[in-house]
């Protein structure tokens, strides 16, 4: 049986939640976040209390990798959507009508992706060339997904 709890949030966050409430399953987001935080705490406690086998370590690292990659993808998608919401119409049309391999060669888009990597890794010195190709592709694909989702939302209203 489900139990209700009360959650206190700052006024600014409440205003945003209230504005976007219809677009989110707040209960689901909260449940997922708390369940993930509890799972991490329990796993950490387990690691402190016992010696892990190689298989357990690999399993744990896979879970952590999936969570990390999911978080990176979500952040890149949000950044793409934000960029799209601020882009000029011409830039937006270019972004949604150009193949992704050509799009990410454009200087103005490379700047956006470089900024995204710097944000993700909290590192202003890291260059795109030092990022593993598979991670680069995940960020680029997610960023472009955010742009495309924004375009899908506004296209028919223009």
Number of residues that this document lists for the chain: 158
Residue 131, helix vs strand vs coil: coil
Q: Supply φ then ψ for residue 136, to 5 degrees.
A: -55, -45
The domain tally of the chain equals 1
Q: How far is CA 140 from the centre of its chain?
A: 11
102 assigned to some structural domain: yes
Residue 127 inside a domain? The answer is yes
Give the pLDDT confidence score for residue 62 in this predicted structure. 92
Give the CA-trace dihedral at 79, 80, 83, 87, to 10 degrees: 180
pLDDT in tens, 121-158: 665 455 556 667 787 788 889 999 999 999 999 999 98
Largest interatomic CA distance in the chain: 60
Is 98 inside any structural domain?
yes
* Domain span including residue 133: 64-158
pLDDT digits (tens, 9 = 90+) for 53-82: 777 878 888 999 899 888 888 988 998 999
Q: What is the value of pTM for the model shown?
A: 0.60
Q: Examine residue 108 and state whether it is found in any structural domain, yes or no.
A: yes
Mean pLDDT value across residues 36-55? 75
Q: For 32-40, what is the mean pLDDT?
A: 87
Could you tell me which residue, 118 or 8, shows the higher pLDDT?
8
């Amino acid at each position: 049986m489900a139990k209700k709890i009360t959650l206190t949030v700052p006024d600014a966050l409440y205003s945003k939640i209230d504005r976007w409430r219809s677009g989110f399953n707040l209960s689901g987001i909260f449940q997922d976040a708390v369940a993930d935080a509890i799972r991490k705490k329990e796993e950490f406690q387990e690691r402190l209390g016992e010696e892990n086998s190689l298989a357990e370590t690999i399993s744990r690292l896979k879970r952590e990798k999936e969570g990390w990659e999911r978080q990176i993808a979500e952040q890149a998608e949000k950044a793409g959507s934000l960029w799209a919401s601020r882009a000029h119409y011409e830039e937006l049309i270019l972004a949604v009508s150009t193949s992704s391999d050509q799009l990410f060669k454009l200087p103005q888009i490379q700047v956006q992706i470089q900024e995204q990597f710097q944000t993700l890794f909290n590192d202003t010195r890291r260059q795109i060339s030092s990022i593993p190709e598979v991670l680069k592709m995940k960020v680029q694909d997610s960023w472009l997904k955010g742009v495309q989702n924004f375009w899908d939302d506004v296209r028919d209203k223009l």
